[in-house]
Amino acid sequence: MSELLGVAVLGAGHMGADHVRRLDRGVSGARVAAVADPDTARAKEAAAGIDGVTVHAEAEAALDAPGVEAVLIASPGPAHEEALLAAFARGLPVLCEKPMVPDSEGALRVVEAEARGGRRLAQVGFMRRYDAEYRRLKRVLDDGRLGRPLMLHCVHRNVSSPPGFTSAMLIDSSVSHEIDAARWLLGQELTAVTVLRPRPSGGAPQGLLDPQFVLFETDGGALVDVEIFVNCGFGYQVRCEAVCEHGSARAGEDHGLLLTTAGTAGAEVPQDYLVRFADAYDREVQAWVDATRQGRATGPTAWDGYAASAVAEAGVRALESGLRTPVDLAPRPALYTDTGR
Ligand SMILES: NC(=O)C1=CN([C@@H]2O[C@H](COP(=O)(O)OP(=O)(O)OC[C@H]3O[C@@H](n4cnc5c(N)ncnc54)[C@H](O)[C@@H]3O)[C@@H](O)[C@H]2O)C=CC1
Ligand SMILES: O=C1[C@@H](O)[C@H](O)[C@@H](O)[C@H](O)[C@H]1O
């Protein structure tokens, strides 16, 4: 391995360009060796000013470029399976943005391919696990001082959804974060989903079922509810309150700077995830770089990526049918028995 881990970044859109900047200037121990995007103008713009980087239209050409030792996948979800399998075939470690693979069959093929190789190569980009407040919440739940968790109440609001965002994506793109966070915080599997929806907001694009109210049951007898509202118009808000037998703990309470002016006082509300979770993305990518340079893997596994997709898929079926829908999980390969959850 070189002194600086040479990374190929696939996809140079919102997340990809941000990760290129982070690898180049935000974390230590890595350099951007290649950037790929079918929109080569975007790839060139993201790579501008970086020494020794090559730019490609095809993802596989970037994987084979000089100096590439690891891959960060930030292309749209449907492109992830092909990229992950191509990286595994070359023995390259991967950090893959969520959802790992949106459909559970494809996600399972990725799990099986990694398990066949006998060692972990993939980390999935569920960055909430690296957010300071979520980590404190996890520690409080794990040390047992609050007793057994009974319920998680979660709120996930975006100012607006990008073009082409569908009603299913509220669950398989947005709520996928709460699915992973709930599995991780509780150390339990989600076993059934019910989705209710109020009359859509007037602020939502025509035909989009926004907001939605998603209720999960777990194999440990807990309940997890999620308000997902992706066109709320007023701020990026992500909260999670755990209610336990002896107390509650809440993460994400907008306790930033308090501004007082013209007779009113108020807190600033971030407008998007790149601001709210900036520190979490930094810690996530640093953890991946450090582990990869030490020849190991860390963080959310391909199994966690698969489980999130299987739960989300049940959620999308529940949205369509209006019915409580059980989650069907495949047997977990031995490679993932120690999940670190
Ligand atoms: N962790 C988080 O909080 C967030 C994660 N994401 C995830 O990041 C990924 C990318 O999302 P955005 O950057 O918002 O999308 P985007 O649409 O801004 O950018 C995607 C880019 O990938 C390129 N692309 C398309 N097919 C490709 C391929 N086969 N190989 C390489 N590049 C390809 C597109 O031309 C585009 O430039 C998605 O998986 C999304 O779910 C997105 C937002 C936040
Ligand atoms: O991952 C993300 C987006 O893809 C998704 O569309 C948003 O709803 C989330 O807040 C963001 O973190």
Q: What is the pLDDT of residues 233-247, one digit of tens each?
A: 999 999 999 999 999
Least confident span in 40-44, 112-116, 263-267: 263-267
Please report the pLDDT score of residue 119 as a whole number.
96
Q: What is the pLDDT of residues 321-334, one digit of tens each?
A: 999 999 999 999 99
* ipTM > 0.85, yes or no: yes
pTM > 0.90: yes or no? yes
CA atoms within 13 A on the CB side of 243: 9
Name which residue sits closest to atom 37 of ligand 1, judged by CA.
13
Please report the pLDDT score of residue 116 as a whole number.
96
Give the mean pLDDT of 221-239. 97
Q: Ligand 2, closest atom to CA 127?
A: 12
Please report the pLDDT score of residue 255 as a whole number.
67
CB 215 within 8 A of CB 224: yes
Name which residue sits closest to atom 10 of ligand 2, judged by CA.
174
On the question of pLDDT at 340 being above 60, the answer is no
Give the mean pLDDT of 304-319. 98
Please report the pLDDT score of residue 341 as a whole number.
45
Q: What is the pLDDT of residues 137-196, one digit of tens each?
A: 999 999 999 999 999 999 999 999 999 999 999 999 999 999 999 999 999 999 999 999
* Sequence spans of domains, the chain: 146-269
Q: What is the pLDDT of residues 44-82, one digit of tens each?
A: 999 999 999 999 999 999 999 999 999 999 999 999 999
Q: How far is the CA of 13 from the centre of ligand 1 (A)?
A: 6
Give the mean pLDDT of 108-124. 97
- What pLDDT band is residue 338 in, cutting at 50, 70 and 90? low
Q: What is the pLDDT of residues 279-310, one digit of tens each?
A: 999 999 999 999 999 999 999 999 999 999 99
Name which residue sits closest to atom 2 of ligand 2, judged by CA.
174
Return the SS3 of 303: helix
Please report the pLDDT score of residue 214 as a whole number.
98
Q: How far is the CA of 247 from the centre of ligand 1 (A)?
A: 39
* Tokens, residue 123: 């980390």
**Residue whose token pair is 């996530």:** 284
Greatest Cα pair distance in the chain: 64
Question: Yes or no: is domain 146-269 CATH 3.30.360.10?
Answer: yes
CB of residue 59 inside a 6 A radius of ligand 1: yes
